[in-house]
């Protein structure tokens, strides 16, 4: 379903100029890996069979009761996607982990968790997938592992092969400008898909209190970039992001505290 575009030579020149400016773009791989070492998420996407949304939710509640009975030490958070092509899908995740943590959890919980899911969830699910994502603290305005917001505005970027470094450098330049705006909400975060789907894929999450909070701000991102860098550099940064992106789509997700689990609660 990817819409393939052709990156022209000018894109490469612009991306190079962006990558060579700004301290954030110069971070090396070792530093980035260290910063995000405990930011790995396992994320499950589940779409109920038609007419079985209520049964799925009841099964999800039972499955979370299983986690409670097993004294699971991980927190599991569920959102329901309300708009876009994935509307009706539920997203359940556990974040804030190192890679080795998944081996320990699998040894302790894996077989029992799969068996309980087969009983309480699978009969009501028509499709699903799961993947590993890393919360990119080096690309985000909000710290990792924030309490879930009532709603989240989600923007998914599927990039052209090899476009990741230029895209990341451009995003960091945007963040440098936004960080200088005292009234700009610092609630956005970036996830990067590392296993389990088409890539390179980056997901921008913006916290929202309610639907009214989706209203436009007094300034656009382009306005802020123009003020920070001048129109020429602003246009270059925005063009880099556009030219690196093969596909972009948006959706809104509502937090479902009743379908989650936290240790000790």
How large is the average pLDDT for residues 201-217? Answer: 97
How far apart (Å, rounded) are the C-alpha atoms in residues 103 and 91?
Answer: 22
Q: Could you give the angle at which helices 164-179 and 9-19 cross, rounded to 10 degrees? A: 50
Grade residue 232 by pLDDT with cuts at 50, 70 and 90. very high
* Weakest mean pLDDT among 18-27, 171-180, 209-218: 18-27
- 26 has a pLDDT exceeding 60: no
Contacts 24+ apart (CB under 8 A), 141-144: 141/175, 141/178, 141/179, 141/186, 141/187, 141/188, 141/189, 142/186, 142/187, 142/188, 142/189, 142/207, 144/38, 144/39, 144/95, 144/96, 144/189
Stated pTM of the model: 0.88
Q: What value does the mean pLDDT of the chain take?
A: 91
Share of the chain above pLDDT 90, in %: 88
How large is the average pLDDT for residues 81-89? Answer: 98
Grade residue 19 by pLDDT with cuts at 50, 70 and 90. very low
pLDDT of res. 27: 58
pLDDT of res. 28: 85
Q: How far is CA 98 from each of CA 28, 34, 44, 75, rounded to the nearest angstrom?
A: 20, 11, 18, 14
Q: Which token pair is 203? A: 């997901």
- 198 has a pLDDT exceeding 70: yes
- 40 has a pLDDT exceeding 80: yes
In this structure, how many other beta carbons lie within 10 angstroms of the beta carbon of residue 126? 11
How far apart (Å, rounded) are the C-alpha atoms in residues 245 and 233?
Answer: 19
Torsional sign, CA 93, 97, 98, 102: negative
pLDDT tens digit sequence for 127-159: 999 999 999 999 999 999 999 999 999 999 999
pLDDT of res. 265: 72
Closest CA to 138 of 36, 21, 26: 36
- 8 has a pLDDT exceeding 50: no
Share of the chain above pLDDT 70, in %: 90
How far apart (Å, rounded) are the C-alpha atoms in residues 136 and 148?
Answer: 17
pLDDT of res. 264: 87
Residue pair 14/239 in contact (Cβ under 8 Å)? The answer is yes
């Amino acid at each position: 379903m990817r819409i393939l575009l052709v990156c022209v030579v000018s894109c490469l020149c612009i991306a190079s100029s962006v990558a060579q400016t700004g301290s954030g773009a110069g971070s090396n791989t070792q530093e980035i890996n260290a910063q995000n070492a405990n930011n790995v998420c396992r994320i499950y996407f589940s779409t109920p069979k038609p007419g079985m949304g209520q049964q799925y939710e009841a099964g999800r509640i039972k499955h979370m009761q299983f986690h409670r009975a097993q004294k699971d030490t991980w927190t599991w958070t569920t959102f329901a996607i309300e708009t876009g092509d994935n509307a009706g899908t539920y997203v359940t995740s556990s974040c804030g982990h190192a890679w080795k943590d998944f081996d320990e959890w699998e040894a302790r919980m894996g077989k029992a968790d799969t068996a309980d899911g087969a009983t309480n969830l699978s009969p009501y699910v028509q499709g699903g997938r799961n993947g590993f994502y890393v919360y990119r603290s080096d690309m985000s305005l909000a710290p990792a592992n924030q309490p879930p917001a009532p709603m989240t505005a989600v923007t998914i970027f599927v990039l052209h092969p090899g476009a990741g470094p230029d895209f990341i450098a451009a995003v960091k330049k945007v963040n440098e400008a936004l960080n200088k705006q005292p009234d700009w909400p610092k609630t956005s975060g970036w996830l990067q898909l590392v296993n389990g789907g088409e890539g390179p894929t980056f997901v921008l999450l913006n916290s929202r209190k309610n639907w009214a909070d989706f209203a436009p701000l007094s300034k656009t991102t382009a306005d802020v970039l123009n003020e920070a860098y001048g129109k020429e550099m602003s246009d270059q940064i925005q063009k880099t992001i556009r030219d690196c992106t093969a596909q972009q789509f948006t959706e809104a997700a509502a937090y479902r505290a009743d379908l989650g689990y936290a240790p000790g609660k």
